Structure 1
């Protein structure tokens, strides 16, 4: 099988660079927000004497994940209503493919529609 990898034009390369920088800025902001949420929760739990009940950073990551999933699918993140099931299907299938390809997950992704 021959793979085709186009050479970007100078304009396309500039566009890709702008998007890549924005992606990095976004990822850094999300990571910082997750750390801040975990720190805020830890301080709040310490204040009420419930240090052992402090959620892990992964809890807050799952909150962001669910919110983003709803936004990608067109659903209301607060009520989970109104999402497009076709987009949801493709988002899930993409996640399955990533897990299988990059992390050797023992999973068979949903078949293509």
Structure 2
């Protein structure tokens, strides 16, 4: 194998474009939902006269991340039960490799299960 990437066919390029557009629209909706949730909580905390700082946007980012992690692993979001450890390890390894490759984290990658 020479390591060259095959040139996509017009059909493959069109399918990739459709997927890319769908992903972009999906992520715009996710980011908008996160911003809306943070704003809603902030407004309700202020309206209630609470002397607590409302949850920041990053809290909701983390909620989405955790819930998607559980969904991908097949676990129940409320109890964390029923997940697939193999999928969990694969996701963790992927994130570690991204941190190492793109951000110079220089961390040990979890061994394959």
TM over 0.5: yes
Residue 76 (structure 1) shift: 1.1
How many residues end up aligned between the 2 structures? 112
Aligned mates of 2:85, 2:112 — CA distance in 1: 14
| Counterpart for residue 17 of structure 1 | 17
Task: Please give the root-mean-square deviation of Cα atoms over the aligned residues, in Å.
Answer: 1.3
Question: Is contact 1:38–1:57 with CA below 8 Å preserved after alignment?
Answer: yes
Question: Is contact 1:76–1:83 with CA below 8 Å preserved after alignment?
Answer: yes
- Counterparts in 2 of 1:42 and 1:5: CA distance versus 1, 3 Å: same
Aligned mates of 1:51, 1:64 — CA distance in 2: 26
SS in 2 for 1:79: coil
SS in 2 for 1:53: coil
Residue 51 (structure 1) shift: 5.6
Q: Which runs of 5+ in 2 are unaligned?
A: none
| Counterpart for residue 103 of structure 1 | 103
Aligned mates of 1:4, 1:80 — CA distance in 2: 42
Question: Is contact 2:89–2:112 with CA below 8 Å preserved after alignment?
Answer: no
Residue 6 (structure 1) shift: 1.5
TM-score (normalised: structure 1): 0.92
Deviation sequence 1:48-104 (CA, Å, 0-9, x none): 223642111000010000110011111111211101000000000000001111111
Aligned mates of 1:67, 1:73 — CA distance in 2: 10
TM-score (normalised: structure 2): 0.92
| Counterpart for residue 88 of structure 2 | 88
Question: Is contact 1:73–1:88 with CA below 8 Å preserved after alignment?
Answer: yes
SS in 2 for 1:29: helix
